[in-house]
Structure 1
């Protein structure tokens, strides 16, 4: 992993964090805000797993395991939110 790629990932993480903070400060609510926050969280988790944990160059099994875990968690949060709206 080169430093330039890690710096780019770090900047994306910082911008995504600022974006989620801004959504919270403006009181964003509802399904669209929840979907946006989950998508941003997934992107952040993916960057951490692939770049900062160094799994970008390993076998598919390990990447799939951790990215699958992220999808399951995001899916369960979305499901809980959807059920609460009913």
Structure 2
């Protein structure tokens, strides 16, 4: 039983890692396609935010940390994404 408990987090991290790779390939492919506009930019920023949250919560183990650390790290991510969105929106013609 102890072996299963040890392998479970490793399998979860591996599956999450593969999903993060797939999301990265997706965003790269959309960017290489040349498609643009606010909807595409919002989609790509949303995927990046989800990837960042997954890294923070799982790989940085903040998901098991006290609420303050979750709020600080996810709040920082939200702030950065909001500033990127604002910069994109302000730079639109």
Q: TM-score, normalised by structure 1?
A: 0.93
- Between Structure 1 and Structure 2, the one with more helix by share is 2
Query: Which residue of structure 2 aligns with residue 85 of structure 1?
Result: 92
Q: What are the ranges of 5 or more consecutive residues in structure 1 without an aligned counterpart?
A: none
The higher relative CO (CA closer than 8 Å, separation ≥ 6) is in 1
The residue correspondences of 1:22-61 to structure 2 (distance < 5 A) are 22-61=29-68
Determine which of 8, 11, 18 is the counterpart of 1:4: 11
Following superposition, which runs of at least 4 residues in structure 1 exceed 6 angstroms of deviation? none
Q: TM-score, normalised by structure 2?
A: 0.86
How many residue pairs get aligned? The number is: 86
Across the aligned residues of Structure 1 and Structure 2, the Cα RMSD in angstroms comes to: 1.3
Larger Rg: 2
